[in-house]
């Protein structure tokens, strides 16, 4: 098949590799792609949010399926524009993508559908928001409603911190338009889990569940990032828990979106907080694969990925996929200065003698005219290992991550600590 993958990060490298592995006969275009996709795909130098040029490229290259990686083009209506031009697309239209691009909308959908989530209120004016903070129990969470690259949620231990967060969003517009609407919600206890449901709008196929590590530093400390590492599968994601997630979270949400005239086609990513009593509370929904979660869940798919994405995009019954009985761990290597001000242009060395089962996914890299690989974004690489056991995958991805060199490299050395702790009990 002729495929077009939209995006240029680690997730899109993982998508391209998984689809190429699924069927080596695919001809894969990536827009814009990165130096990791260049050796086996045709990179098109079109930005992921340039809707007009992407639609033209899909037509020019007779693309048979477009897979959209990031949330921004989905929120801008890329899938609608492509469908309007007669293309088959894996990814929701703008109306359904609001489940991610507006936390206020997402909360409203969950309330209508009876989906478990933190109690919340939405504010667009500073004074009422501050008044609400003053009577809210601590801790509490303040969120910019719009898209903020994973950095729009502030967990506040005290009301004073919450007042500061609300003021920076609604008063000082620190998140621009994304923070003109603010959600204030109660703090949820428990353990986080990312669940990925491929859907044609009604039917669901779950991919392996994963756990991300959002904070920059070991011990889940430091600032929030886009994600510093992930692993899959996760032991807490048992069959009974996932059944409950399907029944109480995924199906009601998809039904409510359809009822509102915005059926969701693509991958619905539920960011959950599993409460101590087992309730799967939704922290947020995303309308796409997670990054870096994609770099662990996609390498675990053994076969059937293309058929699944095509069937979902066509609204047809979803075939089953086969998944490797193995574990995957990815360690993200971030640039110096990330997440505030990532340094760029640092020379990257990736040795040839990586351990078995290791793939280095490119995220923020660039090749200079003379062929030198340099850093060009906050999250630079995601070093994934697949192995028969979690411990094996962890050991290999950590060892491989240490072997890659560039000035200012930041990485966590405790990815998967919860799983490790569980397994040593």
**By the criterion CB under 6 A, which residues form the site for ligand GLY?**
150, 212, 227, 286, 290-291, 293
Instruction: Give the residue with the Cβ less far from ligand AMP, 154 or 170.
Output: 154
As a whole number of angstroms, the distance between CA 195 and CA 230 comes to 13
299/392 with CB nearer ligand GLY: 299
Radius of gyration of the chain measured on its C-alpha atoms: 21
Residue 291 binds which entry of ligand GLY, ligand AMP, none, CB below 5-8 Å type-dependent:
ligand GLY
Give the closest residue to 6 by CA, choosing from 62, 45, 59.
Answer: 45
Q: Report the alpha-carbon distance of residue 21 to residue 38 in Å, rounded.
A: 15
Helical H runs in 156-202?
159-166
Question: For residue 87, which of 61, 48, 67, 58 has the smallest C-alpha distance?
Answer: 58
155 binds, among ligand GLY, ligand AMP, none (CB under 5 to 8 A by kind): ligand AMP
For residues 379 and 252, what is the distance between their CA atoms, to the nearest angstrom? 34
Footprint on this chain of ligand AMP (rule: CB under 6 A): 118, 141, 143, 150, 152-153, 155, 185, 187-188, 192, 214, 271, 273, 283-284
Cβ distance to ligand AMP smaller for residue 61 or 215: 215
Residue 286 binding target from ligand AMP, ligand GLY, none, CB below 5 to 8 Å by type: ligand GLY
User: Binds 290, which of ligand GLY, ligand AMP, none (CB < 5 to 8 A, cut-off by type)?
Assistant: ligand GLY
Residue nearer to ligand GLY on the CB measure, 11 or 136: 11
Q: Which does 419 bind (CB under 5 to 8 A by kind): ligand GLY, ligand AMP, none?
A: none
Nearest to 116 by CA among 285, 286, 279: 279
Shortest distance (Å) from residue 187 CB to ligand AMP: 4
Rounded to the nearest whole angstrom, what is the least distance from the CB of residue 300 to ligand GLY in the complex? 16
Nearer to ligand GLY, 58 or 153 (CB): 153
Nearer to ligand AMP, 78 or 156 (CB): 156
Q: What angle do CA 268, 179, 194 make, to 5 degrees?
A: 25
Rounded to the nearest angstrom, the gap between the alpha carbon of residue 394 and the centroid of all alpha carbons in its chain is 21
Minimum Å gap between C-beta 289 and ligand GLY is 7
Judge contact between 15 and 69, C-beta under 8 A.
yes
User: Shortest Cβ distance from residue 11 to ligand GLY (Å)?
Assistant: 8
Q: What count of other Cβ atoms lies within 10 Å of the Cβ of residue 150?
A: 18
Q: How far is the CB of 107 from ligand GLY (least distance, A)?
A: 17
Min CB(150)–ligand AMP separation in Å: 6
DSSP 5-31: EEE-SHHHHHHHHHHHHH-TT-EEEEE
Find where tokens 């044609």 sit.
Answer: 200
**Beta strands 27-32 and 42-43, pairing class:** parallel
143 versus 288: smaller Cβ distance to ligand AMP: 143
Query: Nearer to ligand AMP by C-beta: 1 or 149?
Result: 149
Minimal distance, residue 294 CB to ligand GLY, in Å:
8
Structure token digits, residue 405: 């060199």
**Smallest gap from residue 169 Cβ to ligand GLY (A):** 19
> Residue 275's CB: how many other CB atoms inside 10 A?
14
């Amino acid at each position: 098949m002729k495929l077009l993958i939209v995006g240029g990060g680690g997730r899109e490298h993982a998508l391209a590799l998984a689809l190429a592995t699924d069927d080596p006969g695919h001809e894969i275009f990536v827009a814009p792609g990165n130096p990791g996709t260049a050796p086996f795909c045709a990179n098109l130098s079109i930005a992921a949010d340039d809707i007009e040029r992407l639609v033209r490229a899909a037509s020019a290259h007779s693309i048979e399926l477009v897979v959209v990686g990031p949330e921004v083009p989905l929120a801008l209506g890329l899938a609608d524009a492509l469908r309007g031009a007669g293309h088959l697309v894996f990814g929701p239209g703008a109306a359904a993508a609001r489940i991610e691009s507006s936390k206020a909308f997402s909360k409203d959908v969950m309330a209508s559908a009876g989906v478990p989530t933190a109690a919340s209120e939405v504010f667009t004016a500073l004074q009422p928001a501050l008044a609400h903070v003053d009577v809210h129990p601590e801790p509490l969470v303040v969120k910019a409603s719009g898209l903020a690259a994973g950095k729009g949620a502030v967990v506040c231990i005290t009301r004073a911190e919450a007042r500061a967060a609300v003021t920076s969003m609604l008063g000082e517009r620190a998140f621009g338009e994304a923070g003109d609407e603010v959600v204030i919600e109660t703090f949820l206890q428990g353990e986080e889990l990312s669940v990925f449901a491929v859907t044609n709008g009604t039917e669901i196929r779950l991919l392996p569940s994963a756990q991300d590590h959002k904070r920059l530093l070991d011990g889940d400390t430091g600032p929030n990032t886009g994600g510093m590492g992930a692993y899959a599968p996760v032991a807490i994601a048992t069959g009974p828990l996932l059944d409950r997630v399907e029944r109480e979270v995924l199906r009601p949400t998809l039904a409510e979106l359809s009822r509102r005239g915005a059926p969701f086609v693509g991958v619905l990513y539920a960011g959950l907080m599993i409460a101590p009593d087992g309730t799967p509370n939704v922290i947020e929904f995303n309308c796409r694969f997670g990054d870096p979660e994609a770099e662990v869940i996609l390498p675990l798919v053994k076969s059937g990925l293309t058929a699944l994405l095509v069937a979902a995009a066509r609204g047809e019954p979803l075939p089953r996929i086969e998944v490797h009985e193995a574990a995957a761990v990815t360690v993200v290597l971030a640039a110096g200065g990330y997440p505030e001000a990532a340094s760029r242009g640092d020379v990257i060395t990736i040795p040839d003698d990586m351990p078995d089962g290791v793939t280095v996914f490119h995220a923020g890299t660039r090749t200079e005219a003379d062929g030198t690989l340099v850093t060009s974004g906050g999250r630079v690489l995601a070093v994934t290992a697949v192995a028969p056991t979690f411990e094996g995958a962890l050991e290999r991805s950590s060892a491989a991550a240490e072997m890659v060199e560039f000035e200012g490299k930041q990485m966590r050395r405790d990815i998967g600590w919860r799983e490790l702790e569980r397994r040593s009990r």
